[in-house]
Structure 1
């Protein structure tokens, strides 16, 4: 009996804890992702509205969040610039289609990393829309096959 208890205890101690990942999306037109938690820290990269991120940790007062994107790039963002609403990023260069079919007309083409807002789902297809950085570019709304997207949506 002691061996069984010892074995169970050992298994509990060496097994890795499993944590649910927390997702958020950028809710600003453009957000600075920084090297540390503060406005004086260097800007590492920019994220656009609807860019999905994994929240890794917060600073002590929870005003800054360390985030990671779908390619593993990480940095700090002000917590006020994050939303629990869904966001998606293109995992590859892709075509956005008029309807949920690979035979449907192409509405627009976007580059890898392009962010979208989740609208709805139909089978393996996700309906998305963007918020273009320049209004002259026009809105891109349509359907994308789900394996080409990374992110989450709030149900």
Structure 2
């Protein structure tokens, strides 16, 4: 018995035989799950990389900050600060170079403060409160604490305050040895023995 054309169509149709197609939605679901897993893995990887990058950056930032702090402390030590000295002779020659055959530029009084720029063969290259640069022999200076007046008609008083009487006045460029300090007042002594108190903004 042969089947007609219509019957053959019916037989070829799975639904007429109680069969069902493999659900397309299941296939798509598995694919979507795979894609979702892939996306989640990528996202987790990116988050992990970002977190590691952040930690790496913070560690290096702290290292750099620490090095900068150490460098700051290192260069603030006395070895890297300008050394300040004071003239010890009653009157000392300052020269154009580190030798006796160099010209005498000018003379300075006792307690004249200087900042050391260079030391060479027993000579000191320095600058003073006016930023003038010259040389002086090292035997004529030591570490005595001293200052020099930087204004005209500076009052030197009998005590550390404006309520004390004026002992004497000095012009610009007069050096003094510092005996003590109270607040912003300095107890000073001139090379000729005169003593008094002067406000720190009037000296260098």
Q: TM-score range by the shorter chain?
A: 0.7 to 0.9
Structure-2 residue corresponding to 1:56: 117
Which structure has more relative contact order (CA 8 Å, sep 6+)? It is 1
Q: 2:176 and 2:144 mapped to 1: Cα distance?
A: 11
Counterpart of 1:122 in structure 2 is: 182
Runs of 4+ deviating beyond 3 Å: none
Counterpart contact for 1:97–1:105, Cα < 8 Å: yes
Alignment pair present for 1:104 and 2:143: no
Whether contact under 8 Å (1:29, 1:48) holds in the other structure is: yes
Local SS of the residue matching 1:80:
helix
- Return the index of the structure with the highest Cα Rg: 2
Q: Does 1:83 align with 2:142?
A: yes
C-alpha separation in 1, matches of 2:171 and 2:132: 17
Find the residue that maps to 1:143 and give its secondary structure. strand
Q: What is the count of residue pairs matched by the alignment?
A: 134
Aligned residue for 1:140?
194
In structure 2, the partner of 1:47 is: 108
Shift, 1:95, TM fit: 1.0
1:58-73 residue pairs with structure 2 within 5 A?
58-59=119-120, 61=121, 63-73=122-132
SS at match of 1:147: helix
> Cα distance, 1:113 vs. partner?
1.1
Higher relative helix content: 2
Q: Distance in 1 between matches of 2:169 and 2:194?
A: 9
| Alignment partners' CA distance in 2, 1:97 and 1:119 | 14
CA RMSD of aligned residues (A): 2.1
TM-score (norm 2): 0.60
- Kindly provide the CA deviation profile for residues 84-105 of structure 1, in whole angstroms up to 9, marking residues without a partner as x: 1111101112110001111311
**What is the TM-score when the length of structure 1 is the normalising length?**
0.78
8 Å CA contact 1:107–1:140 kept in 2: the answer is no
Structure 2 gaps of 5+ residues are: 1-55
CA shift, 1:140, in A, is: 2.1
Q: Give the drift of 1:69.
A: 0.4
